[in-house]
Structure 1
Amino acid sequence: MTVVRRVRDVARSALPRSVGERLPAAPPPEVTELLHDKRFQRAVAEAADEQGRPEEEVWSEVKGYLHEMSAAHDDRTSQGWARMGDWFLRAYDVLVDEDDMQELKRLDRSHSLALAFSHRSYLDGMVIPNALSSRRFSPTYTFGGANLNLPIIGTVASRTGLIFIRRSTQEIPVYRLALRSYIRQMVTNKRNMAWSIEGGRTRTGKLRPPVHGILKYLTDTVDGDEAPDVQVVPVSVVYDQLHEVSLMTAEARGASKTPEDWRWLVRFARLQRNRLGRAYLTVGEPFSLREKMDELAAEGVTGHQAVERVALDISHRLNRATPVTVTAIVSLALLGADRALTVEEVLETVEPLAAYIDARNWPVAGAADLRDRSTIRRALAELARSGVLTAYDQGTEPVWKIGDDQHLVAAFYRNTVIHILVERAIGELALLTVSELEPDAELPQGGTLQVGWEEAKRMRDLLKFEFFFPSRAGFEDDLRAELRLLVGEGTGSGPGDMSPERARELLVGARPHLAHLVLRPFLDAYLVLADRLADRGDSPVDEDDLLADALAVGRQWALQRRVASAESISLELFRTAMALARHKGLLEGGPGTGSAREAFAAELREAVRRVNVIGEIAGEPVQVVLPQPQTQPETQPEAQAHADAASQDSR
């Protein structure tokens, strides 16, 4: 049976015998109740008055939007949809933490659940509903992009709880009113809802910055003494490998995104024919949204700032719930070496990482033993089978390396675990900064301890658009814990007033070294964009033109080995660097901008130099030729003043 026939037949088997309208003959209860709700009626009347439009016209518009977004749960359709979901997931065994699910099921009996999930694949929308429905949870309503509302399939999906919503609604106030009110009614009726906190699939493997739309409507819902509450549940889904990663990495190199239509769906279904290991669903720590908002209000945090704080908290919980996969650790080892390795060499790199992961009590997917030779060899073989690695076995023993044009794919898998390594990597740079102090260097009042902390905070500010860091106080606490692991309990909670020689000794003896493995790809990408920005002097910048220039010059630098790896040449990383430059006010142009841009590039050149030093200490030097300034450099004090001023920015 062809893929086209399979998709069509499964979809048709799930349809009611007479499709008719997209909605069932009777609208879902939420729509009926909403249309008769006095509060909603007043809101529609106020909207009509604000817009200077007839109320009947606004009512007609809002009813159309409710018809468009509303969804229902039909038993027969849901069963057929679940079968199709299992068929789409045939490339994987889905592993679920049953203890966590049991705890969540108890919560489900008395609360509306808001499941905020990470989004690495289109398959997420099948993994989560199928896992919940097979364990007899209350029906879950999932928010999805209107771009996925395909003929026939969209009709089926809306009868299984999939709510199609538009992505851009800034110019449609009545649509926002309808969606906000619909969500409030869903919570009032204790419905379970699921949505991607990232808004769309990650293109890099790590969490994207959270999108606030759905969360904002949920926080509005729980506001007030008589308002219903909702339990927010972070849900992580991570995969050993994904067929669609190669398409996403092609987009990161500048390719156009494939539109979601029937042809796309058929191609996507065909990709799932080949086995790719396991998918892992884990549940983070739930929390009461109303209690969280009350806590923030007591701190004086309200409005958009409160929503942002909640979104970041969800992202932190998602990261904590995401297990370490063997694929991620193997990819980390091979990307760091960027050469062919034997199994023994991979194990030598992985062993200190495994010890660190144990010390931090991070979960490992499937309870795998990262030190086990057969486990590592199986991961290597699976990555070679999918084309991410190439294997050579004609010598004395087999060796594996990243395949041509596969660095971004391997980086995607590595990045699923990178969040647990960032603060350790920054701690290494803080210790390195102390070790490089000149004997007669003038120290701040806090001594070498203060030097180390300032370096760590500077790196946090440089990377704050790339990673989710806790508050400054929380970051300092976490960094102290990392430094205790790095240099041992006997040295206190940080570098302290130790001599540069002692700092160097501790750094050389520490295991593992991570800064070059974790931070270098991002800093290299930032440096490419900063260099192209500095090349424009004081001129204003067209962002699309700057991205295209960075992509072209980045490819040149990769060929010249002016960056350590081709994985840094990515539009996704350049866009994050652009966000940082925009935050620093470096895009508008004007007098003095050129000097500030060059200071930004100089700061990144120095950061790249230092992570390369960590690589040398780790015994994994990468021979790169650091790019030099293209414009006349400032005097050192002036350049440093610009860098110091930039480092004081806070997100």
Structure 2
Amino acid sequence: MTRRLPWLDGRPHPRDVLREAPFAGALQRYAEQLGHSVEAVREEAEPVLDEMLASHRERVAGAWNTFGRWMLRAHDVVVDEEHLVELRRLDRSHSLAFAFSHRSYLDGFVLPLALAARRFSPTYTIGGANLDLPVIGKLASQTGMIFIRRSTKDSALYRVVLRAYVAYLARHGANLAWSIEGGRTRTGKLRPPTHGLLNYLADAVDQHDETDVLIVPAAIVYDQLHEVSRMTREAKGATKTPEDLGWLVSMARLQGRRLGRAYLSFGTPIPLRERLAQLRNEGIGEAHLVERLALDASHQINRATPVTVTAFVCLALLGSDRALTFDQVLLTLSPLADYVESRAWPVAGSATLTDESSIRRALHELVDSGVLDCYDAGPESVWQVADEQHLVAAFYRNTIIHVLVGRAIGEIALLEAADTLHPPGAPQDPAKATKLAVRAARRQALALRDLLKFEFFFPRRDDFLAELREELATLTEPGEEPEQTTARAAEAIDEAPLLLSHLVLRPFIDAYHVLADRLVAADGADIHENDHDELLADSMRLGEQWLRQRQIASAESVSLELLRNALKLAEFRGLMRLSDQRPSPATTDADHDDSDDSGDPRGSDHEPEPLSTNHDDTAARRRDLAERRAAFLAELTLVNERLTHIAQVAQRRYLTVTTPRAADAAE
């Protein structure tokens, strides 16, 4: 591919750009569809392109990079240099499309500055028009920043121009960068990917044989962030602060206080043309190609996201119902560190997760920022999550939650197997009992995958079950097969050196439980879209009540972000209105190897058709809706009971272990 990077010295007039390929062909087709003249359409498109047109000016870029480094002064940026060396080589012959995770406004500085410092070809970064601030926006557009509208549904011409602009940049070999999530995560974990920019890049590759694009998954994670407290207030229902110059000044001032490190790492590049061909050969329909590409990139971002010591410490303290001494924190983290090492997950800054100085530093930094509370007037200092800071601590913990969710599901699946093995009247034949237990564990794991489909990125069904076997292998004795572990499931849980499910899954299950209770309270009545805000508000109120009654474990479950995902799941299952019934998980056969889950938006290529019904009697259909809502609540109640059981096992073990310091004192 010949690289002819556009507009490195100045910004051309939009009118001139619109006459070049691929704009000319796109506007011609659009004009023909509307029956308008090309000149009239081009005149209408000129101000549209003018909104987004960006350039690279060396002098402005130098000043902007200085401003960016100043905005990042709260963090030391640690970059994945090994991968950047290879990307620098690929940069000579490919258009690199960096799809990055988005946890902070600072992301827009971290990636471009790292690339510029290593002399990559100029990158065009795509951001929301809400950040196109007076003066600042004009300067940013001269450093490759492309500002686009947050919603383009109302303007077909805008989409035509943006699609052509992306294709134009890709044809010229320009590098691109954008948040694959479409906006900042409010929970710390990766949000569902948006497909728009990937769609445009796929079209650009399909329509031009010489366009060569590599999708580069990029993970950006921080020890801490000043803006997290604002985001968590929004998760509790506060109004979002609008982005204006006053907001920018406030954010810039906050960066004066140090908050540790920022980490930039990369996943394996995805050759766009080759991957599209591969998916088509697998029989994936055109409508789902970009969906699969987006999932590929999201999985790679999660895999590249390193485990931070801060996230580890927050995980330990969020899972405790009491303050912990330093030795107790170490005791909690040691098996977690062994698990991360056994699964070969990357660790931020190549740190040792059990290094006492690193853990102590993370504790002190979290105390300094107000996330943790430290009581040091007694014989030993103790730490706990500070009041009103559970959502902040959860944000940091959630940066690594994808590492742990598979193991957590495996534990619940083992409990299901144990119940299958030891009910009254269970079959005595060991081989038959083991087979039933294995089937029960698989069924439970797939049910949890379906239940949490709007929270996590799960692989397709067969890959998920293969990963489940790997997770069960971490619970086995040396030389033991996962099936053998399942056959002695209760013992495996009791003997496991690490139990995670109550730490990882309970916040989500508790939030879903709250919303399910409100659905059951509605009996069989329809809940329309204009009723959703009231349903969420009612759920928030019930969540606050249950928190005070200790019916839910943590304040992090009282979050609009989690409740909205519970609402999505309820809608997907047809639990909101009579008119949109869908099959429940019970109507699918989880034991057929050739079946897939029922419409998993993050792990399947199809959605089920609305469930047909022969109910002519509206009253009967309403009773059916009420029963299905009750079944949803019962499903969550059962999972909660299993989480409680595992929490109790973990707590008993924890209380019987003597810490090293206590042992020394006893002597």
2:625 corresponding residue in structure 1:
593
Distance 1:621 1:174, change over 3 A: farther
User: Quick check: 2:127–2:147 contact (8 Å CA) kept in 1?
Assistant: yes
- Measured after TM superposition, the shift of residue 325 of structure 1 is 0.2
Is the 8 Å Cα contact of residues 487 and 507 (structure 1) preserved in structure 2?
Answer: no
- Tell me the residue number matched to 1:532: 518
Q: 1:380 aligns with which of 363, 387, 405?
A: 363
The code of the aligned residue for 2:630 comes to: E
**8 Å CA contact retained: 2:128, 2:150:** yes
Match in the other structure for 1:503: 489
Aligned-pair identity in percent equals 54
Query: How far apart are 1:371 and its partner, in Å?
Result: 1.0
Structure 1 residue 621 displacement after superposition: 10
CA distance in 2, matches of 1:47, 1:558: 55
What is the deviation of 1:620? 6.5
Which structure 2 residues correspond to residues 215-614 of structure 1 after superposition, within 5 A? 215-224=198-207, 226-437=209-420, 438-441=423-426, 446-494=435-483, 498=487, 502-541=488-527, 542-589=531-578, 591=622, 592-614=624-646
Q: Aligned equivalents of 2:37 and 2:653: distance in 1?
A: 71
CA contact (8 A) 1:30 1:186 kept: no
- Alpha-carbon distance in 2 for matches of 1:31, 1:399: 66
- Counterpart-to-counterpart distance in 2, 1:138 and 1:533: 53
* Aligned residue type for 1:487: T
Q: Which amino acid aligns with 1:537?
A: D
Distance 1:317 1:473 in 2: 18
SS of the residue aligned with 2:324? coil
Alignment check: 8 A CA contact 1:243 1:272 kept: yes
CA apart distance, 1:167: 1.4
Structure 1: segments with no counterpart, 5+ residues: 1-22, 623-651
State how far apart, in whole Å, the 2-side matches of 1:371 and 1:461 are.
Answer: 34
| SS of residue in 1 equivalent to 2:345 | coil
Equivalent residues in 2 for 1:32-111, closer than 5 Å: 32-37=16-21, 40-111=23-94
Report 1:22-37 matches (<5 A).
Answer: 27-28=11-12, 32-37=16-21
TM-score normalised by length of structure 1: 0.89
1:121 is aligned to 104
How far 1:489 moved relative to its partner? 4.4
The size of the alignment, in residue pairs, is 596
Q: Aligned equivalents of 2:246 and 2:141: distance in 1?
A: 21
Letter in 1 for 2:103: R
Q: Deviations over 1:467-522 (max 9, x none)?
A: 00000011011111110111234331335662xxx321111111210000000010
2:585 is matched with none
Question: Structure 1's 353 and 496: CA in aligned 2 closer, same or farther, altered over 3 A?
Answer: closer
Measured after TM superposition, the shift of residue 608 of structure 1 is 0.8
Aligned partners of 1:394 and 1:493: how far apart in 2? 48
Residues of 2 paired with 1:505 and 1:496: CA distance? 9
CA contact (8 A) 2:494 2:649 kept: yes
Does the Cα contact within 8 Å between 1:147 and 1:260 map onto a contact in 2? yes
Q: Deviations over 1:445-483 (max 9, x none)?
A: 942111111111111111111000000011011111110
Q: Read off the aligned partner of 2:437 and give its amino acid letter.
A: T
Partner Cα distance (2:214, 2:246) in 1: 38
1:112 aligned residue: 95
Partner of 2:651, secondary structure, is coil
Given residue 362 of structure 1, which amino acid in structure 2 is its aligned partner? Answer: W
Bigger Cα displacement from structure 2, 241-250 vs 371-380:
371-380
The 8 Å contact of residues 476 and 482 in structure 2, kept in 1 or not, is answered as: no
Mapped to 2, the partners of 1:609 and 1:107 lie a distance apart of 51
- Alignment check: 8 A CA contact 2:472 2:485 kept: no
Contact 2:71–2:106 (Cα < 8 Å) also in 1: yes
Q: Kindly state the Cα deviation for residue 85 of structure 1 after the two structures are TM-superposed.
A: 0.3
Tell me the alpha carbon deviations over residues 345-394 of structure 1, each in whole angstroms, 9 at most, x when there is no partner.
00000000000011011111011111121211111000000000011001
- C-alpha separation between the residues in 1 aligned to 2:634 and 2:44? 54
Q: Distance in 2 between matches of 1:208 and 1:92?
A: 24
Q: Which segment is superposed worse, 509-518 or 585-594?
A: 585-594
AA aligned opposite 2:510: D
> 2: CA distance between counterparts of 1:248 and 1:229?
38
SS at match of 1:114: strand
| Mapped partners of 2:201, 2:8: distance in 1 | 26
Tell whether the 8 Å contact from 2:476 to 2:485 is kept in structure 1 after alignment.
no
Instruction: Indicate how the Cα distance of structure 1 residues 31 and 300 shifts in structure 2: closer, same or farther if over 3 A, else same.
Output: farther
Provide the C-alpha distance between the structure 1 equivalents of 2:13 and 2:275, rounded to a whole number of angstroms.
Answer: 29
1:64 partner letter? P
Structure 2 matches for 1:180-195, cutoff 5 A? Answer: 180-195=163-178
Task: Tell me, in whole angstroms, the C-alpha distance in 2 between the residues paired with 1:108 and 1:30.
Answer: 27
Local SS of the residue matching 2:229: helix
One-letter identity of the residue aligned with 1:83: T
Q: Distance in 2 between matches of 1:497 and 1:191?
A: 52
**Counterpart secondary structure, 2:373:** strand
Supply the AA of the counterpart residue of 2:246.
R
- Conserved 8 A contact 2:511-2:562: yes
Equivalent residue, structure 2, for 1:13 = none
RMSD: 1.9
| Post-superposition offset of 1:29 | 9.3
SS at 1:194's partner residue?
strand
Letter of the 2:340 counterpart: I
Q: Is the 8 A contact 1:339 1:402 kept in 2?
A: no
